[in-house]
C-alpha cells in the first residue's frame, strides 16, 4: 500500500470515486445525470486543483488502484501583527472504497495527512464529518469544536 499525494495521472480514478462516493450516500443525485457531464466538470476541477498548490488530494494506492482518498484545501489567513500567519486546512471528500473499509487504510491515510500538515506548520485541520464519520475522526485524534455560523442563499 502506497500513501501519497495524487498526480494528474490519478484524475480518472478520482472522478469515478467521487461519482461512486456521492451515489453511495445519495443515490437520488445520480438520477437524470449523465456521467459524461459530471466527468467533464470534475476533470476541470481536479486539473486546476492539483496544479494550484491550494488543493492536495492524498491517496492510498494498492497495486495501481486508488482505494482511499482525502482532499485538503489550504485556506490562507489574513496576517496578524506579532505572529506568523500559517494557513489552515479544510479536509473534505474522505472516502475508502467499500471492499477496503475496516482495514485501517483510512486511518493510516489520515495519519499521513496529519503528519504532513504538522510538517507544513498548518495552524489546524477542520472537517465537517457526517454522523457516520464522527467515530472515525474521534479515533484519530479529532475533537469537536463549536459549530461555525453559516448563511444559506
Q: How confident is the model over 23-56, as pLDDT tens digits?
A: 888 889 888 888 999 999 999 999 999 999 999 9
Confidence of residue 121 (pLDDT cuts 50, 70, 90): very high
> Hey, what domains does the chain have and what are their CATH numbers?
2-139 (3.40.630.30)
Q: Determine the pLDDT at residue 57.
A: 98
Strands (E), the chain: 2-5, 55-62, 65-75, 88-96, 125-127
On whether the CB atoms of residues 136 and 106 are closer than 8 A, the answer is: yes
Average pLDDT over residues 10-24: 95
For residue 99, give the DSSP letter: G
Q: Determine the pLDDT at residue 70.
A: 98
CB pairs under 8 A, 24+ apart, for 101-110? 105/1, 105/60, 105/67, 105/68, 106/60, 106/68, 106/136, 107/136, 107/139, 107/140, 108/1, 108/3, 108/60, 109/3, 109/58, 109/59, 109/60, 109/68, 109/69, 109/70, 110/70, 110/140
Amino acid at each position: 500500500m502506497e500513501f501519497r499525494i495524487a498526480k494528474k495521472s490519478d484524475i480518472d480514478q478520482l472522478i469515478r470515486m467521487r461519482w461512486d462516493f456521492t451515489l453511495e450516500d445519495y443515490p437520488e443525485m445520480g438520477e437524470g445525470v449523465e456521467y459524461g457531464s459530471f466527468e467533464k466538470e470534475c476533470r476541470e476541477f481536479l486539473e486546476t486543483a492539483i496544479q494550484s498548490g491550494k488543493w492536495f488530494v492524498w491517496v492510498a494506492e494498492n497495486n495501481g488502484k486508488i482505494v482511499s482518498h482525502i482532499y485538503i484545501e489550504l485556506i490562507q489567513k489574513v496576517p496578524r501583527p506579532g505572529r506568523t500567519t500559517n494557513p489552515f486546512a479544510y479536509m473534505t471528500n474522505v472516502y475508502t472504497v467499500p471492499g477496503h473499509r475496516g482495514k485501517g487504510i483510512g486511518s493510516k491515510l489520515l495519519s499521513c495527512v496529519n503528519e504532513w500538515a504538522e510538517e507544513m506548520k498548518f495552524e489546524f485541520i477542520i472537517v465537517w464529518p457526517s454522523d457516520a464519520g464522527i467515530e472515525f475522526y474521534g479515533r484519530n485524534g479529532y475533537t469537536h469544536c463549536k459549530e461555525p455560523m453559516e448563511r444559506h442563499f
